[in-house]
Structure 1
Amino acid sequence: MFGITDLGTYIIGTTLIVLLPGPNSLYVMSIASRFGIKAGYKGALGVYTGDMILIILTALGAASLLHAFPWLFILLKVVGALYLSYLGIKLLIAAWHTWTIAHPDTGNAAVEQTIEQLHPFKTALTISILNPKAILFYLSFFVQFVDPVYPYPALTFAALAVVLQIISMSYLTILIFSGVKLARYFSQHYKVTALCVLAVGLLFCGFGLKLATSTL
């Protein structure tokens, strides 16, 4: 169907890959747990958009370009690693502030101002597209399920992308509502909130280090 050689295996493989913890899903859940459903979906929309951009770039041959010009891969890798580390450091600072100066009487206006400063959509989009390894992954994974004799490969890529986005959307929705439930607990336990934000910040720094040390 649509040039997909084994749809069942693709769905299973994609589901398992989506379930692996990464900066995208972690960011969406952390935003939802701190600022609610609306902010969570803004972040999720950034992830969807970033994934679609990477899939389109993959279909257009961006992976071959990265192989042909290793310096371009290195440049994207360094920028992506620095950005993830930057987000991690910001979360560490936020954890410190929560631990030392957060109070239960913080108003909604202050929360809304913080959301505007964070720009969940732009941040999630940037996290997604500043990962050259993702382009290489899409090519190496998608190509296994593309029928080489199918006359419309672009349609096959589109169908694979739709399946991926449906699975990703379902998973991020679960994370968003899970994060909102956690927020009810966090709102009464500021020390726990600070520790969780600290853990997320350290993970983002770890993601940055991992990307910086990755290779083609």
Structure 2
Amino acid sequence: MISFDFLITSLIIVALPGTGVIYTVALGLGRGMKASIWAAFGCTLGIVPHMTASILGLAALLHASAVAFEIVRYLGVAWLLYMAWGMWHGTGAMKVTANESTAGVLKIIRDGILLNLLNPKLSVFFLAFLPQFVSAYTPDTTLEMTLLGLIFMAMTFGVFVIYGCFAAALRQHVLEQKKVIDLIGKCFAGGFILMSAKLALTNG
């Protein structure tokens, strides 16, 4: 049974700004609403491997294996820094197009997937988070955890789309102000750098 506590807790977690939110907002500002929706879709897909690993118990193995955790962690740090570089120079997600564009849809989705896929903390998070809301009397724990995970993913996509559409609505107000766009891009790049530093300092 899906509890109210699970829905509220999930909503709070999803709504907190993180790399996925920053990426989606950046696409909304730079390329418009459609691009931000694809970004939200990519970030949501990036959750699937972590959720699957948690349900199958593989996240525990990742957490227990220092080598595996370190490899994924540093790949994640490198990817965040790569994204920060693009945002800082206006060549990545913050590259502004004159008209709303979904050019490079596959690249937008790929980048969103990798943002979450290369964060080993998500597997550990799902391993700790989902079981808290599984009923002790459920006949099928795997099925219930899968349902909880799918709901969490749906909420992630919905909230990210809202963020992205809000950014896209503001797009026209800042589109002609290159200095503003440059400043926002550098702020977002700084956010990615801080998150990469936080991930680098994470203990497995």
Whether the TM-score (by the shorter chain) exceeds 0.5 is yes
Instruction: Return structure 1 stretches of 4+ with deviation > 6 angstroms.
Output: none
Q: Does residue 51 of structure 1 match 2:47?
A: yes
> How is 1:85-104 mapped onto 2 (pairs within 5 angstroms)?
85-94=81-90
CA distance in 2, matches of 1:133, 1:68: 12
Larger radius of gyration: 1
> How is 1:134-153 mapped onto 2 (pairs within 5 angstroms)?
134-153=122-141
Structure 1 length-normalised TM: 0.86
**RMSD of aligned residue pairs (Cα, Å):** 2.1
Contact 1:58 1:139 in 2 (8 A): yes
Matched residue of 2:46: which SS? helix
Q: Which residue of 2 aligns with 1:11?
A: 7
Q: Deviations over 1:111-133 (max 9, x none)?
A: 859x4298110000000110100
Gaps of 5+ in 1: none
Gaps of 5+ in 2: none
Between Structure 1 and Structure 2, how many residues are aligned? 201
Cα offset for 1:161? Answer: 1.6
Q: Deviations over 1:54-93 (max 9, x none)?
A: 1111111121111331111011001101110111011111
Q: Deviations over 1:103-158 (max 9, x none)?
A: xxx755xx859x42981100000001101000100110111111244221121112
Matched residue of 1:119: which SS? helix
Select 2:186's aligned residue among 191, 194, 198: 198
Letter aligned with residue 176 of structure 1 = G
Q: Which residue of 1 aligns with 2:117?
A: 129
Q: Deviations over 1:33-57 (max 9, x none)?
A: 1101111111111112111221111
User: Per chain length, whose mean CA-contact separation is higher, i.e. which structure has more relative contact order (CA < 8 Å, sep 6+)?
Assistant: 1
CA distance in 2, matches of 1:68, 1:56: 17
Select 2:37's aligned residue among 41, 58, 62: 41
CA distance in 2, matches of 1:144, 1:172: 24
Matched residue of 2:47: which SS? helix
Q: Which residue of 1 aligns with 2:75?
A: 79
Q: Which residue of 1 aligns with 2:20?
A: 24
